[in-house]
Amino acid sequence: MFRKRKKSEQLGVFQNQILFLLKYRSMYGYELLEVLNKKGWRTSTGSLYPTLKKLEEKGYIKTFESSQLRGPKKRKNYILTIKGLDYLQRNFFYDLTKDIFMTKLYINPFQEVVNNLTPYFNRGGLVLDLLNHVDPKAILNHLLKGNIPKNIKFMKIYEFYNLIKENKMNMWSQILLYFPFSMTYRDFGGSPVERYQELFNHIKNFLIDDGKLWITDTEWIKSHFLVDALTFLATGDTKQIAYTFDEIKSLLLSIDFKNITKVSSKNGILIISADK
């Protein structure tokens, strides 16, 4: 007798929207309220806070005290849990490896990444998943036919930041920052350049003295119009999904990375290396 497959819990549209916002960074209640209102939700504290409480009770989010003050008390910030991240990936992230056409168009070109980086990553390294629409572990597993070197560690960007906060991050000889498909959102104020600078700076802090940063992205070319359409439909907030070598180089130079090199740009896939 076959067992019935247990269906994953489906949350409401408003709950999903909150989880999507918290995917990018932690926020306090009033900050969430402002972002939601800017996006046209016309919500209030009377509907927001009970929803946040339910999400916390179900284990999708958790709270922590930030260094910001609200009167005499520290602000309570909300952050996604691993369960919350898994829920988003399971229900909303599109696995391109399951689609033959999309695999041919957007996955197979990343073979160049494997060809270039396998000799280096046989020595071990960290692959950072930015939680965009392509899972780097799924891509490498597909291209390497399941033979991913055991000394490669995969880490979600949220886990990376959490380990930094807890002062538990290890030092690495090399880190691969997997961008596909890079997206800049309208959800928050501030410059996307500043957010990427912050990320690059953290990465530099956790590279050993002669460590190397690798970046792989879809180079911005006209043939990627389908990715543009896909990500816009998925998010509704996409402003830019890919960057040129010069744009990324400029960001890396601002963090004092050295020897910034375009390793390859075949098949529209950009591979960049930079030394600490």
Q: Which domains are seen in the chain, by residue range? A: 13-89 (1.10.10.10), 94-275 (3.40.50)
User: Rounded to the nearest 5 degrees, what angle is found at the Cα of 131, between the Cα atoms of 200 and 119?
Assistant: 65
Q: What is the pLDDT at residue 220?
A: 59
pLDDT of the chain along its 276 residues, tens only?
333 334 557 788 889 889 888 876 778 888 899 888 887 788 888 999 999 999 999 999 988 876 665 656 777 889 888 788 778 877 766 566 666 766 776 677 778 778 888 787 778 899 988 766 667 888 888 888 888 888 889 988 777 887 887 788 889 999 988 876 554 443 344 456 677 788 899 999 999 999 999 988 776 555 555 555 555 444 444 455 567 788 889 889 999 999 999 988 877 778 899 999
> Residue 174's beta-bridge partner residues?
212
The residues near 46 (Cβ < 8 Å, ≥ 6 apart) are: none
Cα separation, 205 vs 276, in Å, equals 9
Q: pTM for this one?
A: 0.66
CA 215 to chain centre: 13
Gyration radius (Cα) of the chain, Å: 20
How would you classify the pairing of strands 61-70 and 207-218?
unpaired
Q: What is the pLDDT at residue 28?
A: 87
Q: What is the pLDDT at residue 102?
A: 64
3-state secondary structure of 4: coil
How many CB atoms neighbour CB 174 within 10 A? 22
Q: What is the pLDDT at residue 4?
A: 36
Q: What is the pLDDT at residue 242?
A: 62
- Scan for tokens 């004092």, then name that residue: 256
Inter-residue contact 173 to 208 (CB < 8 Å): yes
